Copies of this chain bind each other. A is one copy, B any other.
């Protein structure tokens, strides 16, 4: 059942997805049908939770606490995508009715709405056997907007994937979700190069992501690629904050850095704190030492971690302390700013502590940071002048800026951004969690001078579905007739433009 997918398997899966697209529940306006299916999937996952957690624990070592939490999150993601599909904000309908005047002040009737891209490819992650796997958020968000999904499972948890796929197959129509297995890269490349595949989502390594990106760029028509390829999730602890609450911050960040053995995409891998912040350092090291331990996800992760740690340890200016298997590296801000290696993610139980001596020293290190899913700024009001300098820099590199708490664990909300500049995402304008995750799988299509009988659902004059729309510039749930078009002020140009 979980056999290595062949090229023929890929072709059959893509053909099934393409055949499904265009028929129910994938037609424009079928949103409520898909929402009901997402709710049914959520209920079915919840019902099977004990068996699923046991399977996943055996395959990933993540432990029951974490896995029950992750499965509940996955259930909630499916339900949230159902709610979003029904509500329809992702459709973003915009209507501009005709204005009878010469261009650029006149216009025909133009209406636009976001439409599903078509069949999409999704690659599951090693570190989330539920939330970023078979019925994870990439599937849920793509299906919510009407894209059939061909999903490649992660080889780190094939049995868990198969059990979830079996649940999905009992509920979803043919072609809505095709699940492929295997460790090889050949099937992955065939999948992203299939003509009918219109976008791809991926969570994994920089190397794996770059390989898929190259394969996509070789297409006659390169498609959107939403890849999450790694992040160091830097944390800046300002001097006054370190002074006033160093012990508490050290404890909190140790908790964040050790969750699931550092195997979160949002793991805080680099912490910049003042040199000589003894209270912070003591609390951090003591928190690290006390944190629970378990095996890493699989042998490949083990090997990658060992290699990354070795490279980091050998970098100029780096020292290392082994706190019961969690490796804590130290480096000066100047050495950090000068070394590319020190800024690369080491996936697993490792933290790099960066010591800064003053503002210029800190700024040099901050300026050297690269795109990241999160950045954290722990600043007291007395740090505000310094924070004013740091904050614009963190905004430029991160998808989410935190001012308290820890970066692992994302909230399932409209406002969430789980993405950021490269390499944290290949599409820094997107999010793989929250309401924005749906929009990824759509594209705006405009309809010009379209007869009412041919308009897609959501662009009708009456607004039968009660969507929030922009009509002739007004945000409204009312009918088009309530918001007539007004011509822009031409400042008298139409009369005098040629002759003055």
Which A residues fall within an 8 A CB radius of B?
Answer: 22, 46, 49, 68-69, 72-73, 75-77, 79-80, 89, 94-96, 103-105, 107-108, 110-112, 115, 118, 198, 213-214, 217, 220-224, 370-371, 379, 381, 384, 387, 391-392, 395-396, 398-405, 409, 411-417, 419, 421-423, 426-429, 431, 435-436, 442-451, 453-454, 456, 468, 470, 473, 475, 488, 491, 493, 497-498
Residues of B within 8 A of A95 (CB): 415
Say whether B428 contacts A381, CB under 8 Å. Answer: no
- Find A415's partner among B111, B398, B426, B488 (CB 8 Å cutoff): B111
Bound CA span A417–B405, Å:
41
Residues of B within 8 A of A447 (CB): 400-401, 403
- Find A405's partner among B384, B392, B449, B456 (CB 8 Å cutoff): B449
Q: Please, could you name 15 A-B residue pairs with CB atoms under 8 Å apart, sorted by A?
A: A22-B392, A46-B493, A73-B104, A89-B470, A96-B413, A104-B412, A107-B412, A108-B405, A108-B411, A110-B416, A198-B421, A401-B450, A414-B473, A417-B445, A417-B446
- Find A453's partner among B384, B422, B426, B445 (CB 8 Å cutoff): B384
Residues of B within 8 A of A470 (CB): 89, 414
The chain B residue with its CB closest to the CB of A219 is: B422
Say whether A395 contacts B445, CB under 8 Å. Answer: yes
Residues of B within 8 A of A224 (CB): 427-429
Residues of B within 8 A of A401 (CB): 445-448, 450
Residues of B within 8 A of A371 (CB): 221
Bound CA span A456–B404, Å:
17
Residues of B within 8 A of A454 (CB): 379, 384, 387, 391, 403
A96-B411 in contact given A381-B453, A395-B115 (Cβ < 8 Å): yes
A402-B468 in contact given A49-B497, A103-B73 (Cβ < 8 Å): no
Bound CA span A399–B445, Å:
5
Say whether A403 contacts B453, CB under 8 Å. Answer: no
A110-B422 in contact given A69-B103, A72-B497, A104-B73 (Cβ < 8 Å): no
Residues of B within 8 A of A107 (CB): 411-413
Say whether B76 contacts A404, CB under 8 Å. Answer: no
- Find A213's partner among B217, B387, B421 (CB 8 Å cutoff): B217
A139 to chain B, nearest CB (A): 17
Residues of B within 8 A of A79 (CB): 488
- Find A94's partner among B103, B370, B415, B428 (CB 8 Å cutoff): B415
- 6 nearest A-B pairs in the assembled complex, by CB-CB distance: A107-B411, A417-B446, A404-B449, A221-B422, A76-B104, A96-B413
A23 to chain B, nearest CB (A): 11
Say whether B398 contacts A445, CB under 8 Å. Answer: yes
Bound CA span A392–B22, Å:
8
Residues of B within 8 A of A405 (CB): 108, 448-449
The chain B residue with its CB closest to the CB of A93 is: B415
Residues of B within 8 A of A77 (CB): 104
Bound CA span A384–B69, Å:
51
The chain B residue with its CB closest to the CB of A43 is: B491
Say whether A94 contacts B497, CB under 8 Å. Answer: no
Residues of B within 8 A of A105 (CB): 76
Q: A75-B493, A94-B435, A404-B448 are in contact. List 4 more A-B contacts (CB 8 A).
A: A73-B103, A401-B448, A405-B449, A415-B446
A64 to chain B, nearest CB (A): 8
Residues of B within 8 A of A436 (CB): 444
Bound CA span A491–B43, Å:
10
Residues of B within 8 A of A391 (CB): 454
Bound CA span A402–B112, Å:
12
Residues of B within 8 A of A370 (CB): 220-221
A176 to chain B, nearest CB (A): 18
Residues of B within 8 A of A392 (CB): 22
Say whether B422 contacts A222, CB under 8 Å. Answer: yes
Bound CA span A413–B68, Å:
49
Residues of B within 8 A of A49 (CB): 497
Which among A222, A371, A398 has the greatest number of chain B C-beta atoms within 10 A? Answer: A222
A453 to chain B, nearest CB (A): 7
Residues of B within 8 A of A68 (CB): 497-498
Which among A104, A115, A118, A435 has the greatest number of chain B C-beta atoms within 10 A? Answer: A104
Residues of B within 8 A of A103 (CB): 69, 73, 409, 411
Residues of B within 8 A of A449 (CB): 402-405
Say whether B94 contacts A404, CB under 8 Å. Answer: no
Bound CA span A413–B422, Å:
32
